[in-house]
Amino acid sequence: MDGRIATVSRARGYLCVLGFVFLCLVLTSWYLDSRALEKEYRNLAAEVGRSFFQAIDAMRDWNLTHGGLYVKSSDDVLPSPYLPESLRSATTTLGEQLTLVSHAHMTRLISELLSTRRGIHLHIASLKPIRPGNTPEPWERHALAHFEQGSGEEYDIVGQGEDAQFKYMAPLRMQPLCLSCHPHADETDKARGGVSVSFSWGPFQSVLSGERRRMLLIHVLLGSLGFGVVVLTGTNLIQSIRALQDSLLRIRRLEGLLPICAHCKKVRLEGADRTKPESWVAIEKYIADRTDAEFTHGLCPQCVKEYYPEFNRNKVH
């Protein structure tokens, strides 16, 4: 009996290990899928930032190639104190006052417009700024340091919760035309500056959370189905083990040598003292205790003739 219990216990232990391994696989799958999903949305946000940067970079190149753009002076467009005074403003033949908008000035104006209308902020930053407003923020300084080491772009999520911002930044490569405003730089100055693009991570996070909930539900359903299969299979396996053990026990009880009395046909119990009367039991009881067999008693013709001869005589007369 102890051996049967030990075998069933081992089977249950194997099933528990199998269930634990399956649980680990489900959790690992959910974790990896969740990380891959977050990476996908981060790459999507980076592509948005990259698109804005490339548009701004193309606009800056156009402006720089044409030496700036003169527009009508207004409260929003004032002459830049960082340009040569002779170029800051001009007057048309009609007497209209014009202001020279450089590539950097145009970037700031577009940034203000995008920030108001779309919540997207552009910022020119440099480790050696000419304009104080171009002093880098901590994350921008970190990105500019990476640009010095050859990085082509940097992006990350800054902040937590509703205040989380996605920041993208790429370097501005020095060109010969840049030397007019940056006389102390050269074309190999990789970290002269960059443009950062910042926007709210909230919309991406909202969609990402919904996708994660859907993914979690799928994994829970698959996990439940898998556990159901393990439990059902395990239950059938344990029942089969018990049935097999019962069959083996019956076979073992019926096989082998039985110490049986040659005269009265009683059987000695296993391991019992042969000298004690209680160690010997009727063969019917021995078999009945070890199998599902039941016995009925009768007399064969030979025993009737030997032990009850009167029945034979009555039959003859």
The encoded tokens of residue 235 equal: 């239950």
Handedness of CA 9, 12, 18, 20 (dihedral sign): negative
- Contacts (Cβ under 8 Å, ≥6 apart) of 242: 4, 8
| Below-50 pLDDT ranges, the chain | 177, 187, 190-191, 316-317
User: Would you put residue 245 in left (φ > 0), alpha (ψ -120 to 50) or beta?
Assistant: alpha
pLDDT in tens, 64-96: 888 788 888 887 777 777 677 667 778 887 888
Question: What is the pLDDT at residue 156?
Answer: 94
CB-based contacts of 64-69 (< 8 A; 24+ apart in sequence): 64/102, 64/103, 64/175, 64/177, 64/178, 65/177, 68/100, 68/101, 68/102, 68/103, 69/100, 69/101, 69/106
Does the model's pTM come out above 0.85? no
